[in-house]
Structure 1
Amino acid sequence: MSLDSEALLDLSLSRGTLHRNGNGRREGDPIAKALADASTRVVDIADGRVLTCRVDGRLRLVHRAPRFDDGGESGLYLGHDDDGTNYVAIVHEGPESASSPDRGWRSLREAGADLDDTDSGVLTTAVALANWHARHRFCPRCGGPTVVEEGGWVRRCTADGSQHYPRTDAAIIVAVVDDDERILLARGPHWPEGRLSVLAGFVEAGESLEAAVHREVMEEVGLSVTDLVYKGNQPWPFPASLMVGYTAHATGTEVTLDPAEIVEAHWFTRGELSFAARSGEVGIPPRVSIARQLIEHWHGGPIEAASDSRPTVEATR
């Protein structure tokens, strides 16, 4: 494995600039302290969506001042910016107005690529924490109920006192290229026809990132790869992944699919993929994803894709 001086540095969900204030979160109630400050910026999140607007053509999150009914277990302390302004997310159980995207409510998949560094970090962190809390209301050790502590960054079991922290599942994602500089794109069994992406998979217990690349490519398409190059990483909180990106060189081109993981895989030249994406014959990952960045890095520049105007497909990569 080698490092690349041309690493993917502008990954949409990796641009967050908030200071998470880990030490300060342990001092009292960081949410109550932040909400007592009128300058704190609050973001409402409902059904995974937040309210957005455009200012001078740029997409922004809609922040508001704290209200008397904010806080409790629905509040998440996200951190503070360089000016010391605190950010808090309030998670609403009901859908609120979030089911109406034309009113400005957007998901992280829809908004992440267009937000600035601060807003991108705010939304990515809020979604990651909200997803974790929704799935970890009970202790994994004894099954007892848990309560929120440290501004939403810890859940403590009320039965055995154990503390639990937000988890992140490491996954690799790799653009495989052959001797003719063609890229291999594939489709999982739960994706719609025509929706293709690079290969990806979770890192298994006791496994290095590079070993995971070799194993996943072999398992999914039956290919051996060499010349692994690290390209960057990106949080992918759907619900809790960190995608670690690579490029790799295939030693052959004959694919053998694992039907449980991959139902089709095709090699593309740059011209073939550009035409297929523009015509809508092939749908490629959204611009917010590291998968799209890996593909466009191989392509040598942005790809005009008909799928960019369609609703985002829920997928793991």
Structure 2
Amino acid sequence: MSFPHLDLAANAHDRAGERRVDDAWLDERWADPETRVLVVSGTRIRPVDGTVPWSASADVPPAGTRVLLGERDGRTWFALLVDPADAPGERGEYVGIREVLPYLARDTVDAPLVFHAIGMAEWHYATRHCPRCGGTLESRYAGAELVCTECGKAQFPRTDPAVIMAITYGDPGADDEQLLLGRQESWPAGRYSTLAGFLEPGETLEDAVRREVWEEVGVRVGEVTYFGNQPWPLPASLMLGFVGRAESSEIVVDGKEIEDARWFTRAEMRTGAEAGDLVLPGGVSISRSLVEHWFGGPLPGSW
């Protein structure tokens, strides 16, 4: 079966890293009328007519930080990071990446470029001062590096690895095999998802799966196998998907991150999804792919 989350990474662009130090080439490409630019206000963009708007460089604000995204389809692509006060249009017209996902799900061609642009915007927005001395940071290498003007320490974009897992219990493929889903207190009624959490220092990905499941719902996990991954700039994550086999079925939720957790058989999942009582993650998420991979096919409804 195909996995929708992979569609968001299917049209990767050439990031042209060697060009980041070539100022003459950067200026030439910026001036090319075929070049396309995505204006990012802080960390938000302004959809136009249900699409992500790419502009010619001549049509974007004069101020801002230029970030080279790379090359694709014979064009060069940039993001222009601007202060919200300098962004064109009304501030309320700009939305975050979560609100943009439905547009990307309908047209996945630009998704890697948009994820790249928003990820860089999030990093620039969060990295305001040198973490070593508190000095001022200056953008270099086409936005791919920030250097302290006082101590010279360089900062580079960071990606936080996070594990997300489909935990099963029972004989694989049997009618009574179950999948573990949990929910947070802030979520609307009926919304459940696979468990997830961040990798800690000195920890393997497989051990992170086991630790997170134990901490959140009190279930011990044994075998853990890799499933796939998905860029997720919310604000700076890489979601690494796994399938794990539970060694016990008793659930003890932590009451902090997880309000409720349940085991679902395939029949229970189908019945709940068809009735709308069980609301599963969106189709472009790796969580949805994990659920439907275990279920064995598509399910109705989503966030």
Structure 2 residue aligned with 1:116: 108
Larger deviation, residues 38-47 vs 27-36: 27-36
Change (3 A) 1:206 1:120: same
Specify which of 153, 163, 188 is matched with residue 154 of structure 2.
163
2: distance between equivalents of 1:225 and 1:303?
26
What pairs up with 1:115-194 in 2 under 5 angstroms? 115-117=107-109, 119-179=110-170, 180-194=176-190
Structure 2 residue aligned with 1:279: 275
Larger deviation, residues 65-74 vs 177-186: 65-74
**Maintained 8 Å contact 2:5/2:286:** no
Change (3 A) 1:52 1:178: farther
Change (3 A) 1:98 1:14: farther
1: distance between equivalents of 2:143 and 2:24?
10
Change (3 A) 1:8 1:224: farther
> Which amino acid in the other structure matches residue 10 of structure 2?
R
Larger deviation, residues 295-304 vs 125-134: 295-304
**Maintained 8 Å contact 2:37/2:78:** yes
SS at match of 2:47: strand
Specify which of 212, 221, 224 is matched with residue 228 of structure 1.
224
Change (3 A) 1:187 1:125: same
1:126-161 residue CA offsets vs partner (Å, 9 max, x unmatched): 111111111001111111111111111111111111
Structure 2 residue aligned with 1:84: 74
**Maintained 8 Å contact 2:274/2:300:** yes
Structure 1 residue aligned with 2:173: none
> Which amino acid in the other structure matches residue 36 of structure 2?
R
Structure 2 residue aligned with 1:41: 36
Change (3 A) 1:217 1:69: closer
Change (3 A) 1:221 1:122: same
> Which amino acid in the other structure matches residue 107 of structure 2?
L
SS at match of 1:161: coil
Structure 2 residue aligned with 1:297: 293
**Maintained 8 Å contact 1:233/1:245:** yes
> Which amino acid in the other structure matches residue 240 of structure 2?
V
1: distance between equivalents of 2:165 and 2:207?
12
> Which amino acid in the other structure matches residue 222 of structure 2?
T
1:86-142 residue CA offsets vs partner (Å, 9 max, x unmatched): 00122343373574589xx9833332322233x011111011111111100111111
Larger deviation, residues 203-212 vs 8-17: 8-17
Larger deviation, residues 31-40 vs 146-155: 31-40
1:68 CA displacement: 6.9
Change (3 A) 1:245 1:87: same
| Superposed structure 1 runs of 4+ greater than 4 Å apart | 6-10, 68-72
1:40 CA displacement: 0.5
What pairs up with 1:34-73 in 2 under 5 angstroms? 34-46=29-41, 48-53=44-49, 61-67=52-58, 70=61, 73=64
1:167 CA displacement: 0.3
1:181 CA displacement: 2.0
SS at match of 2:288: helix
SS at match of 2:67: strand
1: distance between equivalents of 2:94 and 2:137?
33
2: distance between equivalents of 1:257 and 1:106?
27
> Which amino acid in the other structure matches residue 37 of structure 1?
D
Cα RMSD between the aligned structures? 2.6
Larger deviation, residues 265-274 vs 45-54: 45-54
Structure 2 residue aligned with 1:312: none
**Maintained 8 Å contact 1:38/1:65:** yes
What pairs up with 1:207-226 in 2 under 5 angstroms? 207-226=203-222
1:217 CA displacement: 1.1
What is the number of residues matched between the two proteins? 293
Give aligned-pair identity as a percent.
Answer: 37
2: distance between equivalents of 1:161 and 1:10?
40
**Maintained 8 Å contact 2:220/2:246:** yes
Change (3 A) 1:249 1:287: same
Structure 2 residue aligned with 1:23: 18
Q: TM-score, normalised by structure 1?
A: 0.83
1:31 CA displacement: 4.7
2: distance between equivalents of 1:106 and 1:74?
23
Structure 1 residue aligned with 2:265: 269
